[in-house]
């Protein structure tokens, strides 16, 4: 019998396990998850905390019991503490019984996700300061908010998770300030596009303190946070949510002597195999190949975790699948706004040593005369000379998020800006102007290359 062991019971790990099960009914598949749940949507946590989702069970795509019914042996509250690649075992700690045991494997997938960055600042352990990564974190925060009814919140970090959490707090009627070290929020966009997001937030009643560094958390006598102390003064906070980003959780792999890539994630080849025989990695813990910058990157997103898990499931059962890489497509909703990006920003293109040109246009989401048309700003980046489309960013109140997907398809297929500007996209006044905003932006950047 061959035994396929999964470390980490969420998107990447359980995709790998489920796909393997579908392809091979006889394989022994054993998953260890240190939390209490499997296959939950971390992406849904901001909406759960906002109170829009209902019970946390609605975020669970497949519970441990459902996985077991499909023939996967799932152990929750079990943490893998070491991997032995020679003996082909993992050391597992049963968190409830407090006991450890060794479990053998023939093939293994490391799907341990990412670890949120926690600032090493005075007061960072105070009551009322929360990170948001797992479903357990979401439940703890939602319970605390319901019980304590805070009036003011500070979100530290203006990336997409921070902004989604700021919106969640606002939806609950809490006064929110976002504290961001960079000159504008959403530093995954170019500064000119990130500034649009900052303006939108202010217009929606979320205060943004950009270019501000948090130095310390002020704490009450009872050990509760009361303010974030920044280099520009204090911002009152009954509750603080940290959105400082994540790092790949590679400790287990590193301790086992498995190669870590220059990006900081577990190094994998396109078949998702690591440097150790029989060991795969997938999801937030590993690196991906960026098809535009042609470099390994860590882009921790659920969409990649699911696909990479699928590749592992196929390859662990005798198949030959390859993960084709990523191009940095990401979308988010910030209150009434949609924020989207794909490929490289102008800043990222420069960092990758690519000579790029960029154009920004303003258009509307529907024909300008059609009721409900709203402003849409599109920025497009192309390579000077070749005209290769490198990236796009879109900010607007509707039609930004999924509009970026068509640009992603163009970049994925190495289109030039000129070729892209002629694509046969759908048009009717309720959905777009006759020249769709992404075509207008492509035309403008094509004229610059």
How many residues bind ligand FAD, per CB under 6 A?
Answer: 34
| Rounded CA separation 279/276 (Å) | 6
Separation of alpha carbons 88 and 366, rounded Å:
58
The answer to whether the beta carbons of residues 376 and 363 sit under 8 Å apart is yes
x/- track of binding to ligand FAD for residues 73-102 (CB under 6 A)? ------xx----------------------
Q: Verify binding: residue 339, ligand FAD, rule CB under 6 A.
A: no
Residue from 6, 108, 132, 219 that binds ligand FAD (CB under 6 A)? 132
The contacts of residue 102 (CB under 8 Å, 6+ apart) are 84, 87, 89, 90, 91, 92
Rank residues 321 and 423 by Cβ distance to ligand FAD and give the closer one.
321
Residue 410 binds to ligand FAD (criterion: CB under 6 A): no
DSSP state of 286: B
Helix (H, G, I), strand (E, B) or coil at 63: coil
Helix (H, G, I), strand (E, B) or coil at 202: helix
Closest separation in Å from C-beta 398 to ligand FAD: 18
Contact 166, 179 (CB under 8 A): no
Choose one: 43-51, 59-67, 377-385, 402-410; the region binding ligand FAD (CB under 6 A).
43-51
Contact stretch for ligand FAD (CB under 6 A) within 171-179, 265-273, 298-306, 343-351 = 298-306
Selected from 19, 30, 111, 145, the binder of ligand FAD by CB under 6 A is 111
If binding is defined by CB under 6 A, does position 141 make contact with ligand FAD? no
Residue 188 or 230 with smaller CB distance to ligand FAD: 188
CA–CA distance, 327 with 367 (Å, rounded to integer): 30
65: Cβ–Cβ under 8 A, 6 or more apart, which residues? none
Q: Which residue from 72, 333, 292 is spatially nearest to 201, judged by alpha carbons?
A: 333
Indicate which single residue of 301, 352, 409, 425 sits in contact with ligand FAD (rule: CB under 6 A).
301
Among 303, 374, 397, 416, binds ligand FAD (CB under 6 A): 303
* DSSP annotation string for 265-289: SBP--TT-B-SSTTEEE-GGGB-EE
33 binds ligand FAD (CB under 6 A): yes
At closest approach, how far in Å is the CB of 305 from ligand FAD? 3
| Backbone φ, ψ for residue 150 (5° rounding) | -65, 155
Binding mask 7-26 for ligand FAD (x = CB under 6 A): xxxxxxx-------------
CA 391 to chain CA centroid, nearest Å: 18
And the tokens for 428? 């009717």
Q: Per-residue x/- mask for ligand FAD, residues 182 to 221, rule CB under 6 A?
A: ----------------------------------------
From the list 3-11, 271-279, 343-351, 363-371, the region that binds ligand FAD by CB under 6 A is 3-11
CB 437 within 8 A of CB 360: no
Q: Is 215 exposed, middle or buried (0-12, 13-18, 19+ CB in 10 A)?
A: middle
The half-sphere exposure of 67 on its side-chain side, counting CA atoms within 13 A, is 31
| Site membership for ligand FAD, residue 284 (CB under 6 A) | yes
- Residue in the structure block whose two tokens are 């040109």: 357
Min CB(7)–ligand FAD separation in Å: 5
Distance CA 212, CA 232 (A): 7
H/E segment holding residue 50: helix 45-50
Nearer Cβ to ligand FAD (18/249): 249
Mark the segment that binds ligand FAD (CB under 6 A) among 55-63, 254-262, 302-310, 316-324.
302-310
User: Is residue 286 annotated as part of the catalytic site, yes or no?
Assistant: no
- The answer to whether 4 and 107 are in contact (CB under 8 A) is yes
Q: Residue 310 CB, nearest distance to ligand FAD (Å)? A: 12
Pick the binder of ligand FAD from 18, 85, 134, 184 (CB under 6 A).
Answer: 134
161 binds ligand FAD (CB under 6 A): yes
Q: Which span (53-61, 214-222, 301-309, 396-404) binds ligand FAD, by CB under 6 A? A: 301-309
Q: Say whether residue 307 binds ligand FAD (CB under 6 A).
A: no
Q: Which two tokens stand for residue 368?
A: 């300008």
DSSP lists the bridge partners of residue 75 as 32
The residues of the shown chain that bind ligand FAD, judged by CB under 6 A, are 7-13, 32-35, 42-43, 45-46, 79-80, 111-114, 132-134, 161, 249, 252, 283-284, 300-303, 305
Q: Which residues are catalytic?
A: 43
């Amino acid at each position: 019998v061959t035994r396929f062991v999964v470390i980490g019971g969420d998107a990447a790990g359980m995709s790998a396990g489920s796909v393997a099960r579908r392809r091979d009914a006889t394989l022994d598949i054993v998953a260890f998850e240190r939390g209490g749940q499997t296959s939950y949507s971390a992406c849904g946590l901001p909406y759960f905390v906002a109170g829009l989702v209902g019970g946390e069970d609605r975020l669970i795509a497949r519970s441990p019991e459902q996985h077991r019914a499909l023939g996967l042996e799932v152990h929750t509250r079990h943490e893998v503490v070491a991997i032995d690649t020679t003996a082909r075992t993992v050391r597992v700690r049963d968190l409830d019984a407090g006991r450890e045991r060794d479990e053998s494997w023939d093939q293994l997938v490391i799907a341990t996700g990412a670890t949120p960055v926690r600032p090493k600042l005075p007061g960072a352990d105070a009551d009322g300061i929360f990170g948001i990564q797992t479903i357990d974190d979401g439940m703890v925060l939602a319970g605390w908010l319901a019980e304590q009814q805070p009036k003011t919140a500070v979100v530290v970090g203006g990336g997409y998770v921070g902004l989604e959490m700021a919106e969640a707090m606002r939806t609950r009627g809490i006064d929110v300030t976002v504290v961001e070290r960079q000159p504008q929020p959403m530093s995954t966009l170019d500064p000119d596009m990130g500034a649009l997001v900052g303006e939108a937030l202010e217009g929606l009643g979320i205060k943004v303190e950009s270019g501000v560094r948090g130095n310390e958390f002020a704490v009450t006598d009872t050990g509760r946070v009361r303010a974030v102390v920044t280099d520009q003064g204090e911002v009152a906070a009954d509750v603080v949510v940290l959105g400082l980003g994540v790092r790949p959780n590679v400790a287990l792999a590193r301790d086992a002597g498995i190669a870590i890539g220059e990006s900081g994630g577990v190094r994998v080849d396109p078949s998702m195999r690591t440097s150790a025989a029989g060991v795969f990695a997938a999801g937030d813990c590993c690196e991906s190949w960026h098809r535009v910058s042609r470099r390994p990157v860590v882009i921790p997103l659920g969409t990649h975790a699911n696909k990479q898990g699928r590749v592992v499931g196929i390859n662990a059962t005798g198949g030959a699948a390859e993960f084709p890489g990523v191009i940095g497509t990401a979308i988010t909703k910030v209150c009434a706004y949609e924020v989207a990006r794909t490929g490289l920003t102008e800043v990222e293109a420069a960092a990758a040593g690519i000579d790029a040109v960029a154009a920004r246009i303003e258009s509307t989401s529907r024909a300008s005369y059609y009721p409900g048309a709203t402003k849409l700003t599109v920025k497009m980046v192309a390579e000077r000379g070749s005209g290769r489309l490198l990236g796009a960013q879109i900010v607007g109140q509707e039609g930004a998020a999924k509009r970026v997907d068509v640009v992603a398809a163009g970049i994925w297929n190495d289109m030039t800006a000129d070729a892209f500007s002629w694509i046969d996209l759908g048009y009717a006044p309720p959905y777009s102007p006759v020249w769709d905003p992404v075509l207008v932006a492509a035309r403008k950047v094509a004229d610059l290359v």
